[in-house]
Amino acid sequence: MSKHLMNRWRNSSLLLPLALVGVLVSGPVQIGAVAAEEEPAGVDVEALIDEVRAISPVIAERRMQDLRIHIERVEETAHAVASDPRTPAGRAKEGEQFCYACHGQDFEHFFNVGDDISTSQANEVCMECHRGGERMHWYGGAHEFQDMACIDCHNAHSNNKRLLRAEDQLTLCSNCHQERRVDFHRPHHHPVREGQIECTDCHNPHGEMGRAQLRSGGVNETCYQCHAEYRGPFLWEHQPVREDCTLCHNPHGSVHPGMLEARTAQVCQSCHLTSTAHPGDLLTRHPGGSQGEFMLRGQSCLNCHSQVHGSNHPGGALFQR
């Protein structure tokens, strides 16, 4: 190879990596510039604060710092997704503040129930988008009947997943249902405090047709969603089990194993007090020992009647097998 060709090869071998470096460097810069140009502008916080101050100076001045955070936070919620036509941001016209979708044109109200808006009016604002589905039975439901507003539990500017006013469902629900907070601190309880299940796994707070706003329409059907092994049908059915699980169990929590309403023998004796069954003084200590003491040990009645929820054994009439 001649000296001239060797120099040309060396120069080209140096220029090629430099050209590649130039492409790699300049490429992202150009893409970033285009992306920056196409990125939609967010809510003009200062402009909104000025608008609110002009309408309600008392609110604006009293909560100036909080108002700024409040407006910025809504940008992180589902209500601000402009690409979704179901959201306030998606329904807003070009150049229009989507805040008006909830607060009314030119901020007619600030959801101060009893002051600038009534409970029913506040709920209607939410129902314009959230009608139907799980809220199908809201009207006439237990919470609506108690004159509750959607904003008693939800905050459209909240930073948690379901826009709740509390960190979790148990904290929120137990603000009113305080007896449930006590139940979930008992030794035997469903793992709600542990975060394994939530109140809404069993109940629909927006209303249901059945008792206690249970999602499956009834107690047993709700319980069977997890405890399917007790659904049956069984060859030998235990009637209280078919009728209502809560005849024996407290579904929220109990001081007794199995979340029973009372000690095992006492639960059984609430029905089984006939002369043909075990005597009514079952828990007393007989002079000779044996039966009374035996029923105080282990699992009490379940020491023998282990299949108390029902049996498929041909000889399981007494739920012993």
In a domain, 129, yes or no: yes
**What pLDDT is stored for residue 178 in this prediction?**
94
DSSP class of residue 51? H
**What pLDDT is stored for residue 31 in this prediction?**
33
Domain that holds residue 85: 48-165
2-12 pLDDT tens trace: 444 444 444 44
In a domain, 294, yes or no: no
In a domain, 125, yes or no: yes
Two tokens, residue 143: 């919470």
In a domain, 189, yes or no: no
Residues 143-157 have a mean pLDDT of 91
Q: Give rounded-to-5 percent helix, strand, coil for the chain.
A: 45, 5, 50
Q: Is 189 helix (H, G, I), strand (E, B) or coil?
A: strand
- How far, in Å, are 91, 98, 121, 136, 201 from residue 131 at the CA level? 16, 19, 14, 7, 21
162 pLDDT exceeds 70? yes
Q: Which of 55-64, 143-152, 276-285 has the lowest mean pLDDT?
A: 276-285
**What pLDDT is stored for residue 272 in this prediction?**
82
In a domain, 302, yes or no: no
Please give the Cα distance from 289 to 200 (Å, whole number): 49
**What pLDDT is stored for residue 76 in this prediction?**
84
In a domain, 104, yes or no: yes
The answer to whether 259 and 184 have CB atoms below 8 angstroms apart is no
**What pLDDT is stored for residue 309 in this prediction?**
95
248-266 pLDDT tens trace: 999 999 999 999 999 888 8
| Count of domains for the chain | 1
Specify the residue for token string 């979930």.
184
Please give the Cα distance from 204 to 285 (Å, whole number): 47
In a domain, 155, yes or no: yes
15-42 pLDDT tens trace: 433 333 333 334 443 333 333 333 344 5
For residue 59, the one-letter residue type is I
Residue 154 has φ and ψ, to the nearest 5°, of -110, 150
In a domain, 184, yes or no: no
83-132 pLDDT tens trace: 888 888 888 888 788 888 888 887 787 788 878 889 999 999 999 999 88
**What pLDDT is stored for residue 2 in this prediction?**
44
Residues 258-278 have a mean pLDDT of 81
Residues 196-220 have a mean pLDDT of 92
